[in-house]
Structure 1
Amino acid sequence: MAGTDEGGPAPGGKTLAVIAQEAGVSVSTVSKVLHNRSDVAARTRAKVQRLLAQHGYPGRNGPAATALAPGGLIDFVINELDGPWAVELIRGAEEALDAVGMGLVVSAAHGRGSSARRWLDSLAARRTLGAILVVPELDQDQHRELRALGIPFALIAPVEEPPAGVPWVGATNWPGGLAATRHLVRLGHRRIAVIGGPPHRLASRARVDGYRSALEEAGLPFDPGLVRHGDFTNEPAYRHALDLLRLPDPPTAVFAGSDQQALSTYRAAATLGLRVPADVSVVGFDDLPFADWVTPRLTTVRTPLAEMAALAAGMVLRLLGGGQPAGTRVEVASELVVRDSSGPPPTR
């Protein structure tokens, strides 16, 4: 492979320099795509991946060119279609595939159990070219069936650590939880509650672990009475926030495991006649589009959902082209975005 990253010959006599010229980008950008680096725009990434596959890099021809021809379809299977979180993921995957002339077929997995059988049957019946999966679980049997069907796939935000060799994209959840809680500590908060997602989910556990680490770092005790678990959606979070804010010694800040949970905390505070952030600070997670439009504007941890989906689409295109993703586990960096919903604790 010596020299390949800097323009060495690819199968079929093509060089990365030629591919870079055809894509209108630098050789270093092509190299970044080959190594699945996250610092490449989604549309650029998809365009380069298609050219690599069409030119036989790293060695598939014929069927790959057919599979990646304009008009091809990739399946996007997601647990639930409602909510802005799903919309952002679908948007990212659709834009990446549209850039290479391919389309997206979206369907809902609707939870666990028999629904997994239905979406697997649907993929088999459609003879799909590939699949991007945001599903509640992917066990060894489902993994083997996808392999047997010859369907290249990638996961987004898996519930548990996937089987070895399965490509997946996630966010840096532990650092995100750490940054959110550190921010509240630095504002002066000492009683900080957390409303997490389901405790069995990888992302939820990591966010709460980051919260705990920030408390430990600050020398603050971890109080299990300030921890609640929901399902990242509104209604359970609303009930949990009411419960927390009604405590005899209520928290002065709430770190919510999702922006939807943060909005539910807003509603609970209003129900109790409390103001955000004067009486209770709120920090969310995801930075969905509405976070900058609610009042007060939501302090949250940004996870680039559209970019994550574009990276997963790129993994599937790479597999379709006969190659392998440079890494089977990609975590996109989260980032704290400070707005108006967090401030110093009230004087009591």
Structure 2
Amino acid sequence: MSGRITLATVATSAGVSVATVSKVLNGRSDVSPTTRARVQEILRQHDYVGRRPEPVDRATVELFYQGFLNSYSIEVIQGVLEAGNAAGVDVVLSSRPHRHQPRNTGRAAQWIRELTATGRRAAIGITSDLTAADLAALSRARLPLVVVDPLNIAQPDITSVGSTNFAGGMAATQYLLSLGHRRIAYLGGPPTSGCNQARMNGFRGAMEAAGAPVPKEYVWLREFLYDDGLAGGAALLDLPEPPTAIFAGSDEVALGAMEAARARGLRVPEDLSVVGFDDTQVARLASPQLTTVRQPLQEMGAVALRTALQLAAGEKVDSHHVELATRLIVRDSAANPATP
């Protein structure tokens, strides 16, 4: 069926009244199970989400993430929660299927129906890789969306919040170059991730400006997680000519690389220098403490919350993408390369 799907369309298809369809959408109990099932099936077939009801009490924002919680996402969540509390807004935290898990396209409309039925004002995603079905359902429901560090760089119209990843990547690499390193590897996240691309390009830009070659095996991309840093670090350190320094795309990846070095009898920073990205709590708990690029994760979460509320109020935002400044935090995990 083409054209806009309305309550009347659903009612006609199901052979019931518009009032009955409305009762089903609002979760009323005075509808027989058979009728309810028939209406829900018609709604599912047409991916009907409807419009969100006008909020009656405190505004509520949906905050969702994909995959596993880690040190990065926890700090962003903290920023969203604190900003929500200051704005008098409730934040509901939920998880979505990881991007590598099977997706049920019909689930997208059902998810948005659940959000609109409970009066959500807006949705905020953390490092989310949203499908076309997700975005279409959000658009039909007119539910504003803001994403912190989206994983899909092919979605430029999404309102997003991030940091100056290119400048951060360049600063980390320039610091390692200033220590005398030339064999520097990049151990990063998903190739489709916009923030990963920016950090890697900053790394490549600094290396090119210094006239330092980057062999293809010196760039290793997977996820921003500890286990990926462990695997990537092992792969890099087992090369015939391993790097003397690693710039990691996240603190957790950096810690994984440090463990890979330790398992091979290498010392950090005497035998291998490592620089991370994020400046989460794990950077300060590491031994040695991790030199890293700080991005203001809690402020990024707060900006995402305030931007989502602006969109929900029908206000225009200055930019579809906001970047907050990064800066290099020098600690103990990087030093001059060992003398042969």
| TM-score normalised per structure 1 | 0.76
Mapped pair 1:197 → 2:197: no
Question: Within 5 Å, which residues of 2 pair with 1:169-180?
Answer: 169-180=161-172
Alpha-carbon separation, structure 2, partners of 1:73 and 1:138: 21
Which amino acid counterpart does residue 110 of structure 1 have in structure 2? Answer: P
Q: 3-state DSSP class of the match of 1:129?
A: strand
Q: 3-state DSSP class of the match of 1:232?
A: coil
Mapped pair 1:253 → 2:238: no
The Cα shift of 1:164 comes to 5.4
Report the counterpart of residue 256 of structure 2 in structure 1. 264
Mapped pair 1:318 → 2:315: no
Alpha-carbon separation, structure 2, partners of 1:178 and 1:78: 28
Correspondent of 1:224 among 216, 228, 238? 216
- 1:153-202 superposed Cα distances (whole Å, 9 cap, x missing partner): 21111123464553211111111111111100000001011111111211
- Cα–Cα, structure 1 residues 94 and 129, in superposed 2: closer, same or farther, change >3 Å? same
- 1:55-84 superposed Cα distances (whole Å, 9 cap, x missing partner): xxxxxxxxxxx75x8732110011135211
Contact 1:80–1:86 (CA under 8 A) maintained in structure 2: no
Identical amino acids, percent of aligned pairs: 38
Question: Within 5 Å, which residues of 2 pair with 1:57-96?
Answer: 67=55, 71-96=58-83
Which amino acid counterpart does residue 232 of structure 2 have in structure 1? Answer: H
* Larger displacement relative to structure 2 (110-119 or 333-342): 110-119
The Cα shift of 1:120 comes to 3.2
Correspondent of 2:114 among 119, 122, 143? 122
Mapped pair 1:145 → 2:137: yes
Alpha-carbon separation, structure 2, partners of 1:215 and 1:160: 26
Residue segments in structure 2 that go unaligned for 5+ positions in a row: 1-53
Alpha-carbon separation, structure 1, partners of 2:264 and 2:252: 19
- 1:101-140 superposed Cα distances (whole Å, 9 cap, x missing partner): 2111000112232286264343234231111122532344
Question: Within 5 Å, which residues of 2 pair with 1:1-348?
Answer: 67=55, 71-112=58-99, 113-114=103-104, 117=108, 119-134=111-126, 136-161=128-153, 163=155, 165-348=157-340
Alpha-carbon separation, structure 2, partners of 1:268 and 1:120: 43
- Cα–Cα, structure 1 residues 290 and 94, in superposed 2: closer, same or farther, change >3 Å? same
- Cα–Cα, structure 1 residues 135 and 126, in superposed 2: closer, same or farther, change >3 Å? farther
| TM-score normalised per structure 2 | 0.78
- Cα–Cα, structure 1 residues 175 and 242, in superposed 2: closer, same or farther, change >3 Å? same
The Cα shift of 1:141 comes to 4.1
Number of residue pairs the alignment of both structures matches? 282
Which amino acid counterpart does residue 158 of structure 1 have in structure 2? Answer: P
Which amino acid counterpart does residue 196 of structure 1 have in structure 2? Answer: G
Contact 2:153–2:192 (CA under 8 A) maintained in structure 1: no
Alpha-carbon separation, structure 1, partners of 2:285 and 2:67: 24
Contact 2:190–2:222 (CA under 8 A) maintained in structure 1: yes
Q: Point out which structure has higher relative CO (alpha carbons under 8 A, 6+ apart).
A: 1
The Cα shift of 1:329 comes to 1.3
Alpha-carbon separation, structure 2, partners of 1:162 and 1:70: 37
Residue segments in structure 1 that go unaligned for 5+ positions in a row: 1-65
The Cα shift of 1:347 comes to 0.6
Which amino acid counterpart does residue 324 of structure 1 have in structure 2? Answer: K
Alpha-carbon separation, structure 2, partners of 1:187 and 1:236: 26
Q: 3-state DSSP class of the match of 2:242?
A: coil
Following superposition, which runs of at least 4 residues in structure 1 exceed 6 angstroms of deviation? none
Which amino acid counterpart does residue 231 of structure 1 have in structure 2? Answer: E
Alpha-carbon separation, structure 2, partners of 1:146 and 1:326: 21
Alpha-carbon separation, structure 2, partners of 1:163 and 1:257: 21
* Larger displacement relative to structure 2 (107-116 or 215-224): 107-116
Which amino acid counterpart does residue 97 of structure 2 have in structure 1? Answer: H
Q: 3-state DSSP class of the match of 1:307?
A: helix
Alpha-carbon separation, structure 2, partners of 1:241 and 1:164: 32
Alpha-carbon separation, structure 1, partners of 2:178 and 2:84: 42
